[in-house]
Structure 1
Amino acid sequence: MRDMVLIGLYALAAGGLVSVAGAGALRLLRDRSILVHVVALLVITVVAVAAGVAAVARAMFLSAHDLQVVLVTVTAAAVVSLAVGVTFGRRLAVAAVWAQEARDRERRLEAGRRELVAWVSHDLRTPLAGLRAMAEALEDGVVRDPATVGEYHRRIRTGTDRLTQLVDDLFELSRINAGTLRLAPTVVPLREVVSDALAGVAPLAAGRRITLLAAETGWPRVRAGERELARVVSNLLINAVHYTPEDGTVQVDAGRDADDVWLAVSDTCGGIPDDDLRRVFDVAFRGERARTPDRGAGGGLGLAIVRGLVEAHGGRVKVRNHGAGCRFEVRLPAA
């Protein structure tokens, strides 16, 4: 029993010294990754065991050959332990990164939802207040001049259209975020979709003296939901027209690369600041803090809807500064 106690004390002393040194090393590594901490902890454990075995072996007056055998055995076990530990440490590190990304994504989504509610509330209150004031003026007979009455009617219709568009955007975005969007992909001639979208945005472009350009030939076919694809093209064109100065140009191009069909909408808006490029497709982002309902499209939801619809098709959308403006490019699976 006395020998066993002495062996235990020798092992504890050797291992304790290594553990104290290891604790200092872990403190110095406190800002490093999980993988580094796991590997360091394994190394400290293995070295502590090896030191304890070596101390006990020396105390037992083992021969040099026997001591060498013991150390080789401990080393082999240490290599296996470290290999297994590093493997699981990597998995743990990856899982930690995924968890952090999920938390960050959830925080961004929650912040986006709060911002969306605030912005949409503003966009709903402002036109509703104007509509109510004009309706009361007409009802009370405050406005009697036919020209002014006609102008009030026009403004009421414009405000109603804007509210309808905002509600429609919110409904579309809610379907995308809730995962209830159901696509019915068919082979769609891209030229026809673009032609209809150009016709729809032509009055808005004409009012701002903006030239709309599109190639006459070379349009590919794409496999997509026709209604959703029309919404994507229309939103991109409306966004380009809204942010392009008067007498500017908006151009639509398309083509095919390998298995992808691409559609690009280029404008002469003057470019997007680098800090805003990564936020262009965020919900309610308009590129400026000032509330400018006459300039912004809807509640700043158009490009967020574009990204959601494109990704629902298994495609991708990106934006970059190009020439005198910016270029939005959509890529979808070819027919």
Structure 2
Amino acid sequence: MTPDVLLTVSLFTLACAVVVGGAGLLTLRLLSRTSLVLQLMVIALATVVSVVGGMAAVASQTYVSRHDLTVFYSVASVAGLVSLAMAAVLSRQLAQDSRSLRSAAASIERGERVAATDRHGNIEFTALAGELAATGEHLAESRVRENQIEESRHELIAWISHDLRTPLAGIRAMAEALEDGMVEDPERYYTQMRGQVDRLTGMVDDLFELSKIHSGTLRLRLQPVSLYDLISDTVAGLWPIAQAKSLDLRFAGEKGLTILADPRELSRVVGNLVMNAIQHSPAGSSIVVSVTASTGSGAGATDHAVISVTDAAGGIPEQDLSRVFEAGWRASGPRTPVAEPLGTGGAGLGLAIVQGIVRAHHGEVRVRNVPGGCRFEVLLPRHPIATR
């Protein structure tokens, strides 16, 4: 076959393929809202028609004998039928996979869990099914967390209402007694009223602090802080309350650790943890506040200072360990205080505030049970301190 003949055949074939391809694209556009099965059949049919049409155009120019053309038509017919059958099978498989994925998406929307399967015709759909299953798991976990947060919010409102009502009722009753002149010792009533007001002020401060944490408006004033000095001052301030309950409150650990932190907010962290231990510890038990250095290992590891508060209050039920830092949550087990010292009652916000402040310092707070009690640990990164 000469180059001129080959060029002519190629041009005829190209022209026929362009015409059939254009018609196929137009047909697919018209069938854009129909089944995937029909669209794949159109593609397979267009391919066969393009080949047959090109051969017919070449035969019309007497480049192919009638005998050869008849043989070609027979072969093309059989191949075309097989191609259409294969396209039908493939399209049915794709449609089935599509229905399966659509059903999985609907299950996720209903909040149902979706199991990942390998019953798909290609790795793309299999990977997509796996992603949908993983998304379903994440959404299910998110719903659980959302329900827990909503439950904590309701608990917070209930506790706040109760804790506000109690001191307000006491202040009102004492004020009425003073107005009616029914009090033999007014000074004692004044002291009690100041104590109740201090309690209300502490609750309002906690709410304000928590609102700053949740809104992202908490601003830290970082400076070098000696952890020993900070904890010693905090422990000294709470020691009278611990003594009133016959508790052994003491410090242990290293004394030379210095980190960059906000001393006011960090004091609040330690104070909340120690007060939490005081409220839940039985008389005669011990509370140990300690500071240690933790050296990270591996690439990118960070050295930490670890502040821990260990009590002997009976521990926390394992199912509740993940909820202790939720705002408004209070333990219903052995750690629930029977009576709280005047002015130390809270609304279940102390540990939530601790977590928010620690996270603002790029640290981590965690809790675990130890024999006879539990241990709260605050991990704070040890930033380098410039020395003069």
TM range (shorter): 0.7 to 0.9
Superposed, 1:240-279 pairs within 5 Å as 240-258=277-295, 259-279=303-323
1:318 shift after superposition: 1.1
Aligned match for 1:129, one of 148, 169, 175: 169
Instruction: Find the aligned partners of 1:112 and 1:331 in 2 and give their Cα distance.
Output: 25
Instruction: Find the aligned partners of 2:354 and 2:138 in 1 and give their Cα distance.
Output: 26
Opposite residue 196 of structure 2, the aligned amino acid is: G
Asked which structure has the greater CA Rg, the reply is 2
Superposed, 1:132-147 pairs within 5 Å as 132-143=172-183, 145-146=184-185
Opposite residue 300 of structure 1, the aligned amino acid is: G
- Give the secondary structure class of the aligned counterpart of 1:251: strand
Q: How many residues align?
A: 290
Aligned match for 1:162, one of 199, 203, 212: 199
Instruction: Find the aligned partners of 2:99 and 2:125 in 1 and give their Cα distance.
Output: 21
Identity in percent: 41
1:311 shift after superposition: 1.3
Instruction: Find the aligned partners of 2:232 and 2:94 in 1 and give their Cα distance.
Output: 74
Moved more, 242-251 or 7-16: 7-16
User: Structure 1 pair 293/282, CA: closer, same or farther in 2 (3 Å)?
Assistant: farther
- Give the secondary structure class of the aligned counterpart of 1:235: helix
Superposed, 1:1-150 pairs within 5 Å as 33=114, 35-36=116-117, 39-40=118-119, 42-43=120-121, 82-143=122-183, 145-146=184-185, 149-150=186-187
Aligned match for 2:216, one of 170, 173, 179: 179
- Give the secondary structure class of the aligned counterpart of 1:215: strand
Q: TM-score, structure 1 length as denominator?
A: 0.75
User: Structure 1 pair 22/305, CA: closer, same or farther in 2 (3 Å)?
Assistant: closer
User: Structure 1 pair 89/185, CA: closer, same or farther in 2 (3 Å)?
Assistant: farther
User: Structure 1 pair 120/9, CA: closer, same or farther in 2 (3 Å)?
Assistant: same
Structure 1 portions without partners, runs of 5+:
44-81
Aligned match for 1:206, one of 243, 246, 251: 243
User: Structure 1 pair 86/276, CA: closer, same or farther in 2 (3 Å)?
Assistant: same
User: Structure 1 pair 85/200, CA: closer, same or farther in 2 (3 Å)?
Assistant: same
1:141 shift after superposition: 0.6
User: Structure 1 pair 303/18, CA: closer, same or farther in 2 (3 Å)?
Assistant: closer
CA contact (8 A) 1:284 1:299 kept: yes
Instruction: Find the aligned partners of 1:241 and 1:185 in 2 and give their Cα distance.
Output: 29
Tell me which residue corresponds to 1:58: none
1:263 shift after superposition: 0.7
CA contact (8 A) 1:251 1:265 kept: yes
Tell me which residue corresponds to 2:274: 237
Instruction: Find the aligned partners of 2:159 and 2:198 in 1 and give their Cα distance.
Output: 18
CA contact (8 A) 1:219 1:255 kept: no
Instruction: Find the aligned partners of 1:318 and 1:209 in 2 and give their Cα distance.
Output: 27
Opposite residue 271 of structure 1, the aligned amino acid is: G
Tell me which residue corresponds to 1:319: 367
- Give the secondary structure class of the aligned counterpart of 2:323: coil
User: Structure 1 pair 83/20, CA: closer, same or farther in 2 (3 Å)?
Assistant: closer
- Deviation string 1:166-218 (CA, Å, 9 cap, x unpaired) is 11111111111111111222221101110111111011011111111113753
- Give the secondary structure class of the aligned counterpart of 2:332: coil
Q: TM-score, structure 2 length as denominator?
A: 0.65
1:119 shift after superposition: 1.4
- Deviation string 1:1-40 (CA, Å, 9 cap, x unpaired) is 9x799779856886799799989999xx99873642xx53
Is 1:280 the counterpart of 2:280? The answer is no
Tell me which residue corresponds to 1:307: 355
Instruction: Find the aligned partners of 2:94 and 2:380 in 1 and give their Cα distance.
Output: 58
- Deviation string 1:269-304 (CA, Å, 9 cap, x unpaired) is 122222222222121222128895626741111111
User: Structure 1 pair 332/17, CA: closer, same or farther in 2 (3 Å)?
Assistant: closer
Structure 2 portions without partners, runs of 5+:
1-48, 50-76, 296-302, 384-388
1:110 shift after superposition: 2.6
User: Structure 1 pair 18/262, CA: closer, same or farther in 2 (3 Å)?
Assistant: closer
